[in-house]
């Protein structure tokens, strides 16, 4: 297989049929690429698109985002999930040098910033700076594993190493931005996980899996059968008259820098309630939420207190509504269920 022939096919296809009108492709820059690539980690284009537009409307330039507070950034990210990405973005932008210095960065320089791995660095370099740096997101892994009939699991160390070797070998020096965009578009639009449109693929004459009618057998993955652990929490909503308390979660915790009711382990709740002067307690709501590595089962309690003056509370706010605060989606849904239903 000629790598030049392959890359040129992908470039030609992308120009005619690929996605060329996404918001972050207009006036492409390091900044818009950085924002979009971090938002796209673990998130579909259709989900992140309105968040991206809102974010850029608020902070159209690096300098404008540097002036924003982390609270403002977290609030704009609220609902998108994987909130550590917002913290990484703010930290990266705060330390990002001027445009001229960015041009001198190599891929290792970009990887020194938090939340930027090899593939994200490759996307920034190729899409924004037109450098011939390979990428390897989920779509690209699938495309390469089928093209070359990769016999090693793509989530294994060896499989990943081989994929990076393939990505580097196939990387053209001309039009690396359109080539990498074409790879992502192929994986998203044609070489899909289920029911791929192989007859529409510009590379089907080169694809070994298509040749052997084994497309659905790739990519190979290592199946992990570990049971998902369950965490059981109680969320305590302290209420005094018309106001309620939301703590600001510590940076290192789940939902770090976001606001939510007090979070307690189930076994801690009764002991905690016995230490405060309260009028009444009632169970308001319960919900479940699946995270990447565990499942959360939560009960939400309303605790009417007599006097908040003597309460020892973590960092947070007494509020009458949650508008304008950075909230995780499960917490926002929970508050809406309690107060608006």
Residue 129 has a pLDDT of: 95
Which pLDDT band, with edges at 50, 70 and 90, does 341 fall under? Answer: low
Residues 37, 240, 297, 336: which is the catalytic one? 37
- Residue 225, domain member (yes or no): no
Question: CA-CA distances (angstroms) from residue 158 to 127, 152, 164, 209, 259?
Answer: 27, 7, 10, 20, 41
- Bridge-based pairing of strands 295-305 and 230-240 is parallel
Q: Residues 168-174: what's their mean pLDDT? A: 97
Query: Is residue 9 domain-shared with residue 54, that is, in the same domain?
Result: yes
Residue 1 has a pLDDT of: 61
Q: For residue range 116-125, list pLDDT tens digits in order.
A: 999 999 999 9
Q: Can you spell out the DSSP letters for 131-158?
A: -------HHHHHHHHHHTT--S-TTSHH
Residue 319 has a pLDDT of: 94
C-alpha 160/C-alpha 245 separation (Å) is: 46
- Residue 14, domain member (yes or no): yes
Domain end call among 170, 192, 217: 217
Query: Is residue 113 domain-shared with residue 15, that is, in the same domain?
Result: yes
Query: Is residue 213 domain-shared with residue 258, that is, in the same domain?
Result: no
Q: For residue range 211-243, list pLDDT tens digits in order.
A: 999 999 999 998 877 888 999 999 999 998 889
- Residue 222, domain member (yes or no): no
Which pLDDT band, with edges at 50, 70 and 90, does 270 fall under? Answer: confident
Query: Is residue 152 domain-shared with residue 272, that is, in the same domain?
Result: no
Q: What 3-state DSSP class applies to 200?
A: helix
Domain end call among 217, 251, 272: 217
- Residue 224, domain member (yes or no): no
Query: Is residue 208 domain-shared with residue 255, that is, in the same domain?
Result: no
Question: CA-CA distances (angstroms) from residue 304 to 25, 146, 169, 267, 319?
Answer: 51, 60, 65, 20, 14
Asked if 15 contacts 179 with a C-beta cutoff of 8 angstroms, the reply is no
Structural domain of residue 196, as residue ranges?
A: 3-217
Q: Is 15 a catalytic residue?
A: no
pTM for this entry: 0.86
Query: Is residue 206 domain-shared with residue 74, that is, in the same domain?
Result: yes
Average per-residue pLDDT in the chain?
A: 93
């Amino acid at each position: 297989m000629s790598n030049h022939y392959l890359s040129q096919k992908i470039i030609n296809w992308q120009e005619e049929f690929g996605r060329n009108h996404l918001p972050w492709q207009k006036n492409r820059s390091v900044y818009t690429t950085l924002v979009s690539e971090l938002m796209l980690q673990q998130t579909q284009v259709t989900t992140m698109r309105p968040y991206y537009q809102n974010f850029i409307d608020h902070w159209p330039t690096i300098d404008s985002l540097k002036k924003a507070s982390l609270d403002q950034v977290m609030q704009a990210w609220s609902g998108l999930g994987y909130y550590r990405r917002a913290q990484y973005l703010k930290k990266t932008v705060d330390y990002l040098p001027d445009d001229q210095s960015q041009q001198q960065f190599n891929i290792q320089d970009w990887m020194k910033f938090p939340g930027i791995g090899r593939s994200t660095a490759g996307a920034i370099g190729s899409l924004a700076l037109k450098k011939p740096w390979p990428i390897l997101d989920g779509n690209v892994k699938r495309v390469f594993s089928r093209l070359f009939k990769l016999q090693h699991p793509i989530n294994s160390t060896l499989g990943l190493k081989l994929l990076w070797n393939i990505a580097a070998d196939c990387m053209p020096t001309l039009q690396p931005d359109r080539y990498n965009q074409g790879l992502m578009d192929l994986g998203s639009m044609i070489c899909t996980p289920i029911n791929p449109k192989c007859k529409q693929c510009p590379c089907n004459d080169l694809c070994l899996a298509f040749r052997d009618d084994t497309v659905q057998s790739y990519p190979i993955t290592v199946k992990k059968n570990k049971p998902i652990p369950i965490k059981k929490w109680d969320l305590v909503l302290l209420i005094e008259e018309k106001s309620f308390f939301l703590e600001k979660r510590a940076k290192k915790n789940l939902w770090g820098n976001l606001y939510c009711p007090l979070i307690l382990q189930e076994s801690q709740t009764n002991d905690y309630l016995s230490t405060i002067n309260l009028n009444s307690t009632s169970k308001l709501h319960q919900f479940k939420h699946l995270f990447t590595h565990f499942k959360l089962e939560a009960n939400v309690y309303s605790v009417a207190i007599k006097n908040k003056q003597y309460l020892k509370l973590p960092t947070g706010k007494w509020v009458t509504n949650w508008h304008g605060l950075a909230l995780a989606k499960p917490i926002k849904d929970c508050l809406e269920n309690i107060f608006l239903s």
